[in-house]
Structure 1
């Protein structure tokens, strides 16, 4: 992920939810930074890794990692959902169909599961 995109998402998240702002823990020490909270969530989403493996890398407890992940997902849905998670309108569909047609897939909206294509290098072949 480009740093500029990460910083834009981080700024949006911090403005939306104070949980991601760095505060202090019960002992008065700085709590986890917004970068740590967001990075752990992104790493779990991108790599499909467990909260336990994040615990070892970021020295963050499993329950904290899971809490960060839940908060992160909810905030992302609230902030970006109306724009990116909405049903496509007529203009979007025309754009998608045109884009697919240029790539040799006329009439396709969405992705291909490749179930009907023969793949000569497939390990299961």
Structure 2
């Protein structure tokens, strides 16, 4: 019976020691202060976003636009009607692109500005801050526009345009290619 008693005493001593170590670790963990998160102060820049929208509208979409449809196609890498369809679908399908008023009552960036920023960054591979001067939106906003735009395109257009072509699609494309004088481009 004495061996049982000593085994029990050893077990109890080990258990007490383990409990003591665990309590010490917990105490040290809770007593350590986490370093404070860095404080980022944003500098407010009045970008006059309304002027950015007006300029974009007058340059490309107004009654007498400054730039021709050919220049639009060159700069946006698509025809204006396709661009307008994409902007309209994104604006109606993704809440982030709907124009609303901010806390001060001013209109936020238009869907036209946000989509133009995203499309220009993709078309030219430019940095987010490169669209600031013309479209009047900050770098972080441009990044967010691009992210939301891509998600929106995948969600809204994915089933139709982001899929493998069917045999019917391939035949149609080959027919168009033949009409435009492209030779057959695949081997038998």
Shorter-chain TM-score above 0.5? yes
Q: Which has the higher helix share?
A: 2
Shift of 1:72: 0.6
Match of 2:93 in 1: 16
Q: TM-score, normalised by structure 1?
A: 0.74
Match of 1:57 in 2: 134
Match of 2:44 in 1: none
Report 1:46-125 matches (<5 A): 46-99=123-176, 103-107=182-186
Shift of 1:25: 1.9
Cα distance between partner residues in 2 of 1:28 and 1:34: 17
Shift of 1:36: 0.6
Larger radius of gyration: 2
Shift of 1:6: 2.3
Q: TM-score, normalised by structure 2?
A: 0.51
Q: Quick check: 1:97–1:106 contact (8 Å CA) kept in 2? A: no
State the aligned residue count.
108
Query: Would you identify which runs of 4 or more consecutive aligned residues in structure 1 move more than 6 Å?
Result: none
Mind listing any 5+ residue stretches in structure 2 that lack a counterpart? 1-77
